[in-house]
Amino acid sequence: MMRSDILYFSENILNWYAVHKRDLPWRAEGCDPYRVVVSEIMLQQTQVPRVIEKYTEFLGKFPTIEGLARASREDVIRAWCGLGYNRRALMLQNFAQEVVQLYEGKIPDNPKVLMILSGVGTYTAGSIASFAFNKPEPAIDVNLRRIYMRFFYGRDQGLPMAKEEEKKLYVLVKSSIPVDKSRDLHNALMDFGSLICLREKPLCRECVLQKQCGFFPLYAVKKEKVLFVREKRVEKGVREKGKHVPNRIFRGRIVEFVRKNASRSLSIDDFGMIIKKDFKGEEREWLLGLCEKLRKEGLIDFVLVRGLITFTFR
Ligand code: SF4
């Protein structure tokens, strides 16, 4: 890859960001590592507008990492209400407990150390290092991958990618981070991926990278329909009122039910009717399977005695 292409890319993205950056609450508050971690975990699998609503509320309840580490699981899961994927709430609390126990409440800045902690994979480690500590560590999510692959390779790359390609991409992203600008560049790429280089129908005609983007010539000659057709992944789930509903939705309903009805006993069929609009007796096994999985993940607990189920938080 030519150094001049990399420079052109970073400079133009940063100039674009200086004018168009989004006003997000976790940016306005400086770069307190705890707050960065909370926002990053929330932003995994939840849309920005929903995170904006919940972020301040959550930090109002748990303003410090020590406070989150000490809180009851029940309170943390309750505070997570509305964000979905409740396991993240527990992972965040486990992370807080580990940081308090092992690092006296100071979040490490080294990605390799971060990755030993609960809930932190390659992306989250890079994002904490770059957003909280401004370290030149790539945080490669789908948006960032899409922008780099389009610009540098002229390809609209989805997942999965071969290991070798992942490595090459990592090196490329790292080399594109200007000195002391890791935080800005990552923020810029997040906004650019959400506002310009969109997954479907990117706004190539108004893009500041257009002149050297490897993807632009393709975009200019082919029809969008041809370029951006994607196979939809069908999530595991069951039919409800004639529509396919992912298990993730039912899991969310179960946790929501327990939030409001801890210690209430009811028959499995009554419980089933609350969780699924057209629940039938033959779906008991499926329903109990979901509950069992939530129990294994530490989100809920329950006892089943003579057909009556009683829930509690762990
Ligand atoms: S020209 Fe189009 S594909 Fe290339 S970076 Fe800009 S928006 Fe993305």
The residues, ordered by sequence, that sit 6+ positions from 157 with a Cβ below 8 Å of its Cβ are 145, 146, 149, 150
HSE, side-chain direction, 13 A CA sphere, residue 254? 29
Residue of 8, 216, 227 to mutate, ligand 1, most atoms within 8 A of C-beta: 216
204 lines ligand 1 (CB under 6 A): yes
Q: Which of 1.10.12, 3.30.70, 2.60.40, 1.10.10 would CATH assign to domain 240-312?
A: 1.10.10
Short-list 62, 38, 61, CA closest to 51:
38
Instruction: Give the burial string for 59-92 (b: 16+ CB within 10 Å, else e).
Output: beebeebbebbebeeebbbbbbbebbbbbbbbbb
**Whether the domain at 3-226 and the domain at 240-312 fall into the same CATH topology:** no
Active site residues: 40
Q: CA 286, CA 238: separation in Å to the nearest integer?
A: 9
pLDDT of residue 203: 92
- Whole-number pLDDT of residue 230: 57
Tell me which residue has its CA closest to atom 8 in ligand 1.
Answer: 197
pLDDT in tens, the chain (314 residues): 788 899 999 999 999 999 999 989 888 767 899 999 999 999 988 889 999 999 999 999 999 999 999 999 989 999 998 898 888 999 999 999 999 999 999 999 999 999 999 989 999 999 999 999 999 999 999 899 999 999 999 987 666 778 898 999 999 999 999 999 999 999 999 999 999 999 888 999 899 999 999 988 887 776 555 555 555 678 899 999 999 999 999 999 999 899 888 888 899 999 999 999 999 989 999 999 999 999 998 889 999 888 899 987 66
Q: In angstroms, rounded to a whole number, what is the distance separating the alpha carbons of residues 206 and 192?
A: 12
CA of 15 to the centre of ligand 1 (A): 15
Is residue 213 within 6 Å of ligand 1 at its C-beta?
A: yes
Q: Please, what is the end-to-end C-alpha distance for the chain in angstroms?
A: 52
Sheet containing 265-267: give its strands across: 265-267, 308-312, 301-305
Q: Which amino acid is at 200?
A: E
Question: Measured from the CB, is residue 216 less than 6 Å from ligand 1?
Answer: yes
At residue 219, the pLDDT reads 76
In the chain, where the domains are located: 3-226, 240-312
Q: Is 215 in the pocket of ligand 1 (CB under 6 A)?
A: yes
The topology under which CATH files domain 3-226 is Endonuclease III; domain 1 (1.10.340)
- Of 196, 200, 201, 211, best ligand 1 pocket probe by most atoms within 8 Å of the beta carbon: 196
Taking the C-alpha atoms of residue 160 and residue 53, their distance in angstroms, rounded to an integer, is 32
- Across the chain, the runs of DSSP E, i.e. the strands, are 237-240, 243-246, 265-267, 301-305, 308-312
Q: What is the largest CA-CA distance in the chain?
A: 72
Instruction: Using alpha carbons, select from 102, 116, 192 the residue that is nearest to residue 148.
Output: 192
Nearest atom of ligand 1 to the alpha carbon of 216 = 1
Q: Say which residues have a Cβ less than 8 Å from residue 302's Cβ, sequence separation at least 6.
A: 291, 295, 309, 310, 311, 312
Residue 295, CA distances (Å) to 182, 189, 207 in order: 40, 38, 48
